Amino acid sequence: MLEYQARKDLLKNKTILVTGAGDGIGRVAALTFAQHGATVILLGKTVKKLESVYDEIVAQNGPTPAIVPLDLKGATEQNYIDMAETIAEQFGALDGLLHNASLLGALGPFEHIDVKSLEDILKINVTAQAVMTKALLPIMRKADNASIIFTSSGVGRKGRAYWGPYAFSKFATEGMMQVLADECDQTSVRVNSINPGATRTEMRAKAYPAEDPTTLKTPEQIMASYLYLMGEDSLEVNGQALNAQ
Ligand code: NDP
């Protein structure tokens, strides 16, 4: 995967939903998927940011994207069912799902965990992904083949002091990926997780305020891994916890 070079038309005729598509890694993933031919469904909280990504894709002559304004904190199962129906009507099937949106929350000692914040983090980082996936699976099974990518973190693979609910939400993400991947084994749907590693975004700056962001890789620099998992070169890859290269 280190040397992976995606073909320009790798994702042609594919419809891919990206959560948290307005900023950071999700924004760049949406742009990159569109540059490789995909029709991207941009899901996120801040409509202005989604519109700006939409405009960028159109300006680059990419396939016309779609916008789904949705705050994962308040979203209900019905919201996801309605979304799946709309996608089915407009596109017939869904080929890719990148679960990227997440909430970091406050870092600090265990005794300082704020219960409301804990519940919000688990809702956005875990429950929303499970319920959304449940609603979208039937239209992903309609695709010739489909890829679901969960976004993990180093602290979702080995616990680290003071990382609190964010860390255990990422362990849950890995668990969800493994359970679903095992269920999807030998089917047309593959399910994997990716740990982006330290990447220059708002979230990273919030977690490490004293760090010089220019020392970090940019989201653009990790896109080969995302393209690999989303495109058909990874058809045989299922249930893997990968690190972005
Ligand atoms: P950012 O904070 O830069 O972007 C997160 C995106 O998620 C934003 O577009 C944000 O929307 C969206 N989002 C947050 N909360 C909600 C919500 N309630 N409903 C809908 N959308 C929401 O994060 P990164 O790009 O850094 O992170 C992307 C993923 O990578 C995350 O899962 C993160 O945990 C993971 N990761 C990142 C690392 C890094 O170094 N950057 C390292 C390891 C893992 P809005 O802007 O509208 O709030």
Q: Give the mean pLDDT per block of 10 residues along the chain (245 residues).
A: 85 98 98 98 98 98 98 98 98 98 98 98 98 98 98 98 98 98 97 98 96 97 98 98 94
Q: Is the CB of 202 under 6 A from ligand 1?
A: yes
Q: Is residue 30 a contact partner of residue 4, using CB atoms and an 8 Å limit?
A: no
The rounded Å distance from CA 19 to ligand 1 centre is: 9
Q: Measured between alpha carbons, how far is 58 from 87 in angstroms, rounded to an integer?
A: 20
The rounded Å distance from CA 120 to ligand 1 centre is: 14
Domains annotated on the chain, with CATH: 15-243 (3.40.50.720)
Other beta carbons less than 10 A from residue 233's beta carbon: 16
Q: Is the CB of 199 under 6 A from ligand 1?
A: yes
Query: Above 0.90 for ipTM, yes or no?
Result: yes
Q: Is 132 left (phi over 0), alpha (psi -120 to 50) or beta?
A: alpha
Mutate to test the pocket of ligand 1, among 201, 220, 222 (most ligand atoms within 8 A of CB): 201
Catalytic residues: 166
Mutate to test the pocket of ligand 1, among 102, 151, 152 (most ligand atoms within 8 A of CB): 102
pLDDT number for residue 1: 52
Sheet holding 15-19, edge to edge: 66-69, 39-44, 15-19, 96-99, 146-151, 189-195, 241-243
pLDDT number for residue 2: 55
Q: What is the pTM of this model?
A: 0.98
